[in-house]
Structure 1
Amino acid sequence: MDRLQLYKRSCHQCDCFVWFSGFLNMAVLIKKISRTMLIFISAIFILTIGFSRIYLGAHYPSDILGGFFTGGFWLGSTIWIYQRYKMSLAPNAS
């Protein structure tokens, strides 16, 4: 038996993408103090999962980095869209 019998999916970076974008998107929507704590805990959690997947042989390092970059892009995009939406709801100061 290999180190661990893990099933393989066709989308190897999906795990990192979901964790990265999901947790950090929640950080945008909550209060400042708990946001800082959530970002810190999420970053530790995301990095630990990513490195454990490499260590266990479930994914190649490039898959994990791809997931991190894809999640980061998705995070940036959703924050940008959210901020634009929030600004459109604010009354115009003219």
Structure 2
Amino acid sequence: MRKPKLIKGLEKITFHEIYCVGYGSFFLNTTTNILYGCGENHNNELGVLDYQSKEQIIKLHENVVKVFSDHSDHVFIIKTDGNLYGFGTNQIG
């Protein structure tokens, strides 16, 4: 069993929600509504084109209140201004 390791750069950030999406991707939302993501991003479910790194957590969006996903290739986020954004594959709707 591998020992967990601390992710550099995130030591002082407080997360209040974790969302699993897609095929091995996830979001971390901070207490200040900054959204981070990590994973393979097979079908742009992280909202970033051509991002293929499991090892790196990247800052994606600010002012995110909530993330919705059906754990496939579609993700929706609601921002503090009330706007709804969606991203991911559009091959199946």
Superposition TM-score tier, normalisation by shorter sequence: under 0.3
TM-score, with structure 2 as normaliser: 0.24
RCO higher in 1 or 2 (8 Å CA, sep ≥ 6)?
Answer: 1
Greater C-alpha radius of gyration? 1
TM-score, with structure 1 as normaliser: 0.24
Query: Per residue, is there more helix in 1 or in 2?
Result: 1
Query: Per residue, is there more strand in 1 or in 2?
Result: 2
